[in-house]
Structure formats: C-alpha cells, structure tokens
Amino acid sequence: MELKKYVNEYNIRSYECDRNNNLRILTLMNIFQDMADTNATQLGLGLDFCLNKGLSWVGSNYALDITRLPRMHEIIKIETWPAAEKLLGAIRDFEVFGEDGESIIRASSQWVLINFAKKRPVALRENLPQYAVLPERALDTDFPKIGEIERVDEQFKFRVRFDDIDMNRHVNNAVYVLWATEAVESEFRLSHNPHKIDVAFKKEGYMGEKIMVLTQYDGLKTTHSIRTYDRDERELARVAIEWEER
C-alpha cells in the first residue's frame, strides 16, 4: 500500500475560539493528537495494536511555526504523516491550510516508543518492523534544546484538574502548552499571538498535583518551566514561545 498523507477538514466552531476569535492552541493540539491517532490506526499501528504488544507512544517534543491561527467558522484543512524514523521512535509532521488554501501552520512532533509495563524506550525497527515514513518535513527542525530559565519574572500556581488527565492517567501533552500561555499576562495576550512554540516534555504529571509555571520574559519571547511543588519538585515540561503583535 502506498503511504499517503492523512487529510481532514475542520470547521472552526465558536466555542473552540479564544477572546481574540482565534482557534485555541489547546484545541489545535488536540486536533493534532486526534489525527495522529486516526492515521496510526489506518496504518495498522494504532493504540489497540500497540497496547496488545505492550507498547505505547510517548511524546518528547513539539515544534510549531504559526503564520496565523484559524478564525471562527473558517474551514481549514490539516495534513499529517509519519515523516522520519529514529532509533527509539519517530517524527510525525502536520500542516494546516486556511480557507484560502494558504499554509498557515507547520508543526512537527517527536515520539518515543516505550515498553508500557517497564516504562522504558525500545527500538522502533525491532518492535514495529512494518513502520514506514513519507520522507517529507513540514517543519525543518531537530528540536533544539530549550535552555533553563535564568530568572523568574512571573510565577503561576494551580492544581492539576481531573479534565487535564488523559486515558494514560497523566496530564495530556496538549495541556502543557495551555499552562504556558496561561502564565503570560492577560494584557500581553490580548495584543499578541503566538508565532513559534517549542515544547520539551520531561516527566509525567498526575491528577491533584500542585503545579507552578515559572516564566521568563525576553522581549517577545517567553520561556516557561512547568514544575510540581509541595511533596517533591519535578520539571514536567519546558516551553518556549515567540510572540508577535496582533
């Protein structure tokens, strides 16, 4: 079977948009996850197949380059495909096209294949020998390291909610980007949109844990360290966002 991009259309609904009438980043990330799951199932490598083999995909990185966000009632087209193979995992890319047919978002994600019971990475080719890629990149990135914050310009604290947890019983990947953007001052958010987003996932977060987001401002760039506190302190994710004026 010839490997092709998986394509789907979405009509952006009013409740999926934020105060600025843009598609919420959280919803965009959830759409990406939904499309990835559907495409993996089509390729015979979906959730049920992996679980039956004792395997699971764990996200390690995301990178997004946003020309503009979709608007309310806009019909967008999204493409996704397995774009590259790694020793212990793979890269899946996405591209979003606006109603006018122009490319408006390019994104790339990196995933590690793990033994579900042992929570340890395993070799992709040894465990999924049928895995295939379409060697085309939506975003040319090798997921550079996000540096540690050097100072804390703002601190935001809260608890992990029930709705932040997915079926794997830990915080869903999409939620970390939401937390990072929520840690930015509201007045800044009203006048700026995210232009580039890089995410590095580090540890799993669980329901009820106390979370703090430490934020550093550098002009139009914010860097966020998302950590637990109270009983222990673990860095769950690190997010870097480049903003542009609306």
The pLDDT assigned to 1 comes to 58
Question: What is this structure's pTM?
Answer: 0.95
6-127 CATH: 3.10.129.10
pLDDT tens for each residue of the chain, 246 residues long: 579 999 999 999 999 999 999 999 999 999 999 999 999 999 988 888 998 999 999 999 999 999 999 999 999 999 999 999 999 999 999 999 999 999 999 999 999 999 988 889 999 999 999 999 999 999 999 999 999 999 999 999 999 999 999 988 999 999 999 999 999 999 999 999 999 999 999 999 999 999 999 999 999 999 999 999 988 899 999 999 999 998
Q: Sketch the domain layout of the chain as residue ranges.
A: 6-127, 154-245
- SS3 annotation, 92-161: EEEEEECCCCCEEEEEEEEEEEEECCCCEECCHHHHCCCCCCCCCCCCCCCCCCCCCCCCCCEEEEEECC
Q: What is the pLDDT of residue 234?
A: 97
Does the domain made of 154-245 have the CATH classification 3.10.129.10?
Answer: yes
Give the per-residue pLDDT at 85. Answer: 95
- pLDDT on residue 47: 85
Say if strands 221-229 and 210-218 run parallel, antiparallel, or are unpaired.
Answer: antiparallel
Q: Do 6-127 and 154-245 show the same overall fold? A: yes
